[in-house]
Structure 1
Amino acid sequence: MKQTIKMMAVALFAGAVTLGGYKYFIEPDQAVATITQEERPNFIPTNFTTSPVSSTNADFTEAAEKTVHAVVHVKNTTISRQPTNIMEYFSGGGKPRAIVGAGSGVIISPDGYIITNNHVIANASQLEVTLNNNKIYKAELIGTDPNTDIALIKVDAEEDLPFIPFGDSNNVQLGEWVLAVGNPFNLNSTVTAGIISAKARDLNRFDRNPQSFIQTDAAVNRGNSGGALVNVRGELIGINTAITSETGSYVGYSFAVPSNVARKVIEDIMEYGDVQRAILGISGGTLNTNVADELGIEETQGVYVASVEKGSGADKSGLKKGDVIKKMDGIVVRKFADLSGYLNSKRPNDVVDVTVMRNGREKHIPVTLVKLETYEIQDLGLEVRNANAALLKQRGVEHGVIVSKALSKDMARYNLEGIIITKINDEKIEDIDDAKRIMNKRDYNAPIKMTFINQRGELNSFIFR
């Protein structure tokens, strides 16, 4: 019996030694190699957090349902005269003929305010709006802004109307899913999907009126103009306005006025009756490698300040020629369209924080924006604006208005931007109101004489016949 107990004790001792050795020499190595799901190190650059804005599995049904009832069909009736003989052709007579155009609009308030494109309602003698429920209303034109191609109309309905809330177009991101809602080819309530392809896209218009469109690949065709570009939350981030195509139909590119710009325009129209434009008071251009080499600077992105207008907000705040604007209120400025697009959403007397690179160092300069007061002299093909006293003194004149841009390709050839018009028909010009008064009372059969100081300080006159 004792022998049996001894053998059992030896066996137990041997087993304990064997198990201890296994634990000490073998199992630690396996423990290092064995990682539970909770303990997995996150050295792999993968983000499993998905957002409804960027997920490829995004559900568009909720956004479509929220927005489709607030996008309307806008019909524009214009009256033209069709000549029936050679005399009517030269005299402008003829039989009246109604021409109906169509586009889209977005209800932005329950009391019936609708935003659309200016080109959708241009020259309208009658406006008609059809809702998604097939109810038809006569619409009233409240105001327009041809520069941004935005117009505001209104219908009077007996009940509150569905509307789309504004989103912040400054926050849209490349690759973000969007929906275009409109009425292409008279097909009511059409929804197409795409992504944000680019921001602050300038279509390089000849009139030097820089735009800042949101570019998307959501399908947009004739009839979509004035419709909504929305994110997957159903927020309005743009007004569909244009496409580029050799055929006139969608081929992959469409452009929308950012919602921040559209909202500012219609708020100005409602409050002031016109659009309050704000400027920094600089001239300049977009940088790239070639331009940077010519200027002898290292920056290849941003807006180079070529000159600062005397007496402007930029001048008073300390912006200087040679500065490179990199940000506006923290918004990155890579090109001039970024800058102009952001300023289009601001008002006179707003203060913006301008981040510039100067001599290799970053500076933050608060600038108070000033009002851009302009007048288009159609008969001269020129847009003029008021000049402040400091600028007039710098140019060596006591009065006049400055030409801000040409209104046609023909006038753009003469490089008149920056000249100061001192007289029209030998009458002194103090401001744009004088220019309006003289042009309104002139003899339309007589030529127009324009006296001006050119960029070199020389006195000249043009006769327009």
Structure 2
Amino acid sequence: MLMSAVPATAETRVPESQSEISLGFAPVVKQASPAVVNIYAKIVRQGRSNPLFADPFFRDFFGNGFGNARPRVQNSLGSGVILSDDGYVVSNYHVVGAATEIRVVTTDRREFSATVILGDKESDIAILRLDEAEDLPFLKLRDSDHVEVGELALAIGNPFGVGQTVSSGIISGLARTGTATGNARGYFIQTDAPINPGNSGGALIDVNGDLIGINTSILTRSGGSNGIGFAIPANLVAEYLHQARAGNERFISPWAGMAGQHMSVDIAESLGMTLPQGVVISDLHPLSPLGEAGLQVGDVVTHVDGKEVNSPAEMKFRMSIAGVGGTSALTRLRGSDKDEVNVALIQAPQIPAAEETKLDDQTVLPGMVVARVNPDMITRLGLGLSQTGVVVVDPGPFGARAGLRLGDVVNAINGATIQRPADVAEALTDPARRVQIDLQRGGRAVSLRFRL
């Protein structure tokens, strides 16, 4: 896991001389800052075409090339942290995830080209590999479960592109969920160390110079730091690094196959609990490993591997850092009974087989990709646990123009029920002049109609 844990009983020492006081954080910064890098990412975005030129009349009159928007090049600025001497770097997905070119600059002005080898938009984490890098300075990963509110913390990054900057503060809160802005949706460490645009992907370190977390977002109304910043815990970063080294192309998190809700005072009273704590299981997939272990809807999970959980995001975080392949011990409350249940940490199963199908040029929507819904697709596309049927994995250029979106579940085409991906290809081959696609989108029924 390449994680260096700091003992929970580490001694806190009072400065013994004026010279030690005058140094402040200088020795720590001198030690840690070489491992924090500036990241320059180039992103090419396709411009929007004038909708008038979707009409054949205007295309024929002005010419096919007229009115097509040119691609726009955007430059993204952020920070990153070197995690190993051979060039593994962590940053935020929103900094580098869509980049076509990435340039990494170290504090001693060396420049490297970099490639994203593992990224996840939901967690807002990206692991990069620097080309031809060796003997680089790197930060040790601290066991973030031992971080405490009130600890001193330093944020290092490149805010507003002014150059590497250090700001200080304390750890303001732990287990923050659902409060961060930006792409990230998960479990965070909160700090009041000033974090500004450009700090994304930078380091949050302790007074020993070890990495506590990766700065990812701020809570603000003005666009600047208001003293509420969020960092992705080092323990989750360690699991991403582990999977990147193992060659995974996408992050694989243990699949719980459950939906849960935060314990409110009213729910706690209805369950006869004296205090609101834990996560209430509100739904279970038929293949859920929690169900296999004996958990049921209505059970309350209060701890995972001995760590308290009070939200579904916190429960997912605990299982994610444990990794796929082992087991986790879940503390369960059912009525007045309390026990511990061992749950297998498995990858979301591909049952039934996805049968992923890309439509060819014989169909009216060539390039569209559809697949059968299974737990793996539910996880990847954020579908409901009870969802079945055929889902759009990629609408393709023609499907997107017709109004289809990623995650749409196709129910029927021109009145013909869709049960498997092959049914979509058949229904869209030599169809009638008018096409109607009935689908489900985010729990709503939607009908798309277009003429050929």
Compute the TM-score of the two structures, normalised by the length of structure 2: 0.71
Counterpart AA for 1:292? A
Q: Quick check: 1:304–1:324 contact (8 Å CA) kept in 2?
A: yes
SS in 2 for 1:371: coil
Tell whether 2:93 aligns with 1:109: no
Distance across 2 between alignment mates of 1:190 and 1:264: 28
Tell me the equivalent position of 1:232: 207
Counterpart AA for 2:231? A
- Which whole-Å deviations, capped at 9, do the CAs of 1:401-436 have from their partners, x for residues lacking one? 699xxxxxxxxxxxxxxx987777857556xxx59x
> Which of residues 40, 51, 58 in structure 1 aligns to 2:11?
51
Tell whether 2:46 aligns with 1:71: no
> Which of residues 57, 60, 66 in structure 1 aligns to 2:25?
60
Q: Quick check: 1:116–1:151 contact (8 Å CA) kept in 2?
A: yes
Distance across 2 between alignment mates of 1:151 and 1:313: 28
Q: Which runs of 5+ in 1 are unaligned?
A: 1-48, 389-396, 404-418
> Which of residues 273, 281, 293 in structure 1 aligns to 2:269?
293
What is the CA-CA distance between 1:257 and the residue it aligns to?
A: 1.1
> Which of residues 127, 145, 163 in structure 2 aligns to 1:170?
145
Distance across 2 between alignment mates of 1:208 and 1:76: 17
Q: Quick check: 2:204–2:214 contact (8 Å CA) kept in 1?
A: yes
Rg larger in structure: 1
Cα 1:293–1:423, aligned 2, differ >3 Å: closer, same or farther? farther
Structure showing the higher helix proportion among its residues? 1
Q: Quick check: 1:181–1:192 contact (8 Å CA) kept in 2?
A: yes
Tell me the equivalent position of 2:306: 330
Tell me the equivalent position of 1:26: none
Distance across 2 between alignment mates of 1:334 and 1:304: 9
Tell me the equivalent position of 2:330: 354
What is the CA-CA distance between 1:172 and the residue it aligns to?
A: 1.4
> Which of residues 289, 298, 301 in structure 2 aligns to 1:313?
289
Where do residues 240-279 of structure 1 align in structure 2 (5 Å cutoff)?
240-270=215-245, 271-279=247-255
SS in 1 for 2:226: coil
What is the CA-CA distance between 1:150 and the residue it aligns to?
A: 0.9
Tell me the equivalent position of 1:449: 437
> Which of residues 149, 164, 171 in structure 2 aligns to 1:189?
164
- Please, what is the CA RMSD of the aligned residues? 4.5
SS in 1 for 2:31: helix
- Which whole-Å deviations, capped at 9, do the CAs of 1:14-67 have from their partners, x for residues lacking one? xxxxxxxxxxxxxxxxxxxxxxxxxxxxxxxxxxx9833999x89633332221
Where do residues 373-388 of structure 1 align in structure 2 (5 Å cutoff)?
386-387=374-375
Distance across 2 between alignment mates of 1:207 and 1:103: 14
Distance across 2 between alignment mates of 1:347 and 1:139: 26
What is the CA-CA distance between 1:155 and the residue it aligns to?
A: 1.8
Distance across 2 between alignment mates of 1:61 and 1:207: 32
Tell me the equivalent position of 2:448: 464
Q: What is the identity percentage for the equivalent residue pairs of Structure 1 and Structure 2?
A: 30
Distance across 2 between alignment mates of 1:155 and 1:104: 14
What is the CA-CA distance between 1:207 and the residue it aligns to?
A: 12
Distance across 2 between alignment mates of 1:399 and 1:97: 39
> Which of residues 194, 197, 218 in structure 2 aligns to 1:222?
197
Cα 1:373–1:121, aligned 2, differ >3 Å: closer, same or farther? farther
Q: Quick check: 1:225–1:242 contact (8 Å CA) kept in 2?
A: yes
- Which whole-Å deviations, capped at 9, do the CAs of 1:428-461 have from their partners, x for residues lacking one? 556xxx59x969x999x98673567x99xxxx97
Cα 1:274–1:264, aligned 2, differ >3 Å: closer, same or farther? same
Tell me the equivalent position of 2:174: 199
Moved more, 265-274 or 79-88: 79-88
Where do residues 127-142 of structure 1 align in structure 2 (5 Å cutoff)?
127-142=102-117
Tell me the equivalent position of 1:409: none
Distance across 1 between alignment mates of 2:14 and 2:298: 39
